[in-house]
Amino acid sequence: MKKHSRWPLAIGISLGIVFAVNIAFLSLAVWSDDGLIDNNYYEKGLRYGERIKAERELGWDLRLFAEDNGVGVKEVRVSLIDRDGGAVQGAKVTLLVMRPATGGFDALHELKDESGLYKGQVVLPLEGWWDLRVTATRGGKSIEETFRLKA
């Protein structure tokens, strides 16, 4: 009897395993969350220097204050101060709440102007770190700042 070599079978099985693992990684890459916070991050990066210069020329100081108001609820206040130390009134102030660790919990809030102090409530349904991106716009000029908060 002639004995057959098992090397071709071993090579075929090895190539099959490599092929299956590659298909699994490819499917994970295509169908899993990409983790992007901004869809147009490249364009924002190109204009980053221009934005910083415009914000400096504007001279506004933006600060965020947050207090616990119950389980998972934060009372948020944003102060917007101009170059001369006065409150900036009549601005549109939005707050984008994002969870860096997981997607699906992003929420956009518009804060109410109360004589230059902008207020609102934010629900943080999970414990952990949250990013709060504040954007203040008035007269076609805007300032944007991101704060990190622990729930």
Closest by CA position to 127, among listed 109, 91, 101: 101
pLDDT of residue 36: 62
pLDDT of residue 1: 60
Q: Which residue has the higher pLDDT, 71 or 49?
A: 49
Percent of the chain with pLDDT over 70: 95
pLDDT of residue 48: 87
Structure tokens that stand for 6 in this block? 């098992």
Contact present, 113 and 90 (Cβ < 8 Å): yes
pTM of the model: 0.71
Write down all domains in the chain, each with its CATH number in brackets.
60-150 (2.60.40.1930)
69-122 pLDDT, tens per residue?
Answer: 877 788 999 999 999 999 999 999 999 999 887 778 889 999 999 988 999 999
- DSSP per position, 65-117: EEEE-STTEEEEEEEEE-TTS-B--S-EEEEEEE-SS-SS--EEEEEEEETTE
pLDDT of residue 4: 80
State the first-to-last Cα distance of the chain, in angstroms, to the nearest integer.
Answer: 74
Q: Which of 3-12, 38-47, 139-148 has the lowest mean pLDDT?
A: 38-47
